[in-house]
Amino acid sequence: MTPYDAPSPQAAPRNPAALMDGYGRTVTYLRLSVTDRCDLRCVYCMSEHMTFLPKVEVLTLEELDRLASAFIGLGVTKLRITGGEPLVRKGMMGLIQGLSRHLASGALEELTLTTNGTQLTQFAQGLAAAGVRRINVSLDTLKPDLFRKLTRGGDLAKVVAGIEAAQAAGLRVKLNAVALKDDNAAELPDLIRWAHGRDLDVTLIETMPMGEIEADRTDQYLSLTTLRSELESFWTLKDLPLSTGGPARYVEVAETGGRLGFITPMSHNFCEACNRVRLTCTGTLHSCLGQDDASDLRAVIRGGASDAELEDAIRLAIDGKPKGHDFLIARSSAPAVARHMSTTGG
């Protein structure tokens, strides 16, 4: 086992009434960032010399479990663990094993993970054993040199081996690729073909203005509407009626038989059906990815709140979930939100 001790009994749902926001949307999906640290430094995500949070500011594994369990008690049925890189956090597998009790109880329908894949050869079996069925792996290129450049030092072979280990462990793997105009746009059809040939779904993501980075985002931004038209010049894309309550829209590529998703926060509005909230590794609840709204749940639990008081704090925060976001990439403009994606979790 890990240093992390057995889960608290507060796991059982206290109040099954749905978590509903002020606009009548029910929140059933929590993304939980377990660390702001990472073994890579992707150019669109982090600056080269990041200052990471002092340990005392980051939730302990017990605190992460308590908060996640409180949300599950309030009707969250889908939990995605993210970061930073979740698998670099010490004791991570213990947390996942602990949280899997909510799968066993039926309170949680799905426990998933978003990872850069570098640690998967070590952890894939354990994830599968804990009841994780699907994971997202971020991969923007199959060119080793470009991968090294985009991640500032990463080793592509490790990630590919990690994906293979995950598939061998029985995990369903979806690739997330950020579309970057100059760096990988031309290669994306090859990446999609490669992935579909290995039974991997792919989701393309537009760059979002989150946190200060060195690069000018207007130079990186590629509209997926444009990209989709290009793909349609040689592929047949069939819309799929699949909705996750999130920003992704899915198509099937007739020629490859694989599924392709488009996440278009910049060129599309998807807020009406939003069912998700995000909790950072410092216990800050962001009920909207693109707004600066924040509720400090760490202060609530470190202040000695009872489970009932924690529940009240969560309900209050969800009640104030903003109607929508307002991303805009304009040259020289400040990021829409100051926090990095690695803090909020993707």
Q: Which is nearer to ligand SF4, 143 or 193 (CB)?
A: 143
**Helix and strand totals (H; E) in the chain:** 12, 12
Nearer to ligand SF4, 149 or 315 (CB): 149
Return the residues of window 88-147 that contact ligand SF4 according to CB under 6 A.
116, 138
Name the strand (E) or helix (H) holding 31: strand 29-33
Residues within window 132-161 making contact with ligand SAM, judged by CB under 6 A: 138
85 lies in the site for ligand SF4, by CB under 6 A = yes
List C-alpha distances in Å: 7 to 15, 59, 61, 237.
19, 15, 10, 46
Output the 3-class SS for 232-274: HCCCCEEECCCCCCCCEEEEEECCCCEEEEEECCCCCCCHHHC
Taking the complex as a whole, how short is the minimal distance between the CB of residue 257 and ligand SF4, in angstroms? 28
263 phi/psi in degrees, rounded to 5: -105, 115
When CB distances to ligand SAM are compared, the closest residue is 346
- Residues that contact ligand SAM, how many (by CB under 6 A): 19
21 contact choice in ligand SAM, ligand SF4, none (CB below 5 to 8 Å, kind-dependent): none
Residue 83 interacts with ligand SAM (CB under 6 A)?
Answer: yes
Does residue 217 bind ligand SF4 (CB under 6 A)?
Answer: no
Cβ atoms < 10 Å from Cβ of 249: 20
Q: How far is the CB of 85 from ligand SAM (least distance, A)?
A: 4
The label of the residue with tokens 């990815």 reads 289
CB closer to ligand SF4, 84 vs 261? 84
Which one of 7-15, 112-120, 235-243, 321-329 is the stretch in contact with ligand SAM (CB under 6 A)?
A: 112-120
Which listed option, ligand SF4, ligand SAM, none, makes contact with residue 100 (CB within 5 to 8 Å by class)? none
Q: What residue has token string 């990021």?
A: 335
**Residue pair 265/290 in contact by the 8 Å Cβ criterion:** yes
- Residue in the block written with tokens 């709140």: 305
Instruction: Find the length of the chain.
Output: 346
Element (H, E) at 218: helix 217-220
3-state class (DSSP) for residue 161:
helix
Q: Which helix (H) or strand (E) holds 24?
A: none
Rule CB under 6 A: choose which of 35, 82, 141, 264 binds ligand SAM: 82
Please list, residue by residue across 147-172, b when 16 or more beta carbons sit within 10 angstroms of its beta carbon and e when fewer do. Answer: beebbeebebebbbebbebbbebebe
- By CB under 6 A, is residue 342 in contact with ligand SAM? yes
CB of 23 to ligand SF4, least distance (A): 30
| Straight-line distance from the first to the last Cα atom of the chain, in angstroms, rounded to the nearest whole number | 28
Cβ distance to ligand SF4 smaller for residue 53 or 305: 53
- Could you tell me how many residues of this chain bind ligand SF4 (CB under 6 A)? 12
Q: Quote the least distance from Cβ 331 to ligand SF4, whole Å.
A: 23
Of 72, 107, 135, 205, the residue at the interface with ligand SAM (CB under 6 A) is 205
97 vs 138 by CB, closer to ligand SF4 = 138
Residue 82 contact among ligand SAM, ligand SF4, none, beta carbon within 5 to 8 Å by kind = ligand SAM
Type of residue numbered 342 = S
Determine which residue in the list 204, 210, 224, 297 makes contact with ligand SAM, applying CB under 6 A: 210
Q: What residues from 254 to 293 belong to the interface with ligand SAM (CB under 6 A)? A: none
Task: Tell the smallest beta-carbon distance from residue 157 to ligand SAM (Å).
Answer: 17
Q: Does residue 326 contact residue 269 with C-beta atoms inside 8 Å?
A: no
Residues 23-52 that bind ligand SF4 (CB under 6 A): 38, 40-42, 45-46
Q: How much of the chain is helix, strand and coil, in % rounded to 5? A: 35, 20, 50
Collapsed DSSP state (helix, strand, coil) of residue 80: strand
Please report whether residue 30 would count as binding ligand SAM according to CB under 6 A.
no
Q: Which residues bind ligand SF4 (CB under 6 A)?
A: 38, 40-42, 45-46, 83-85, 116, 138, 342
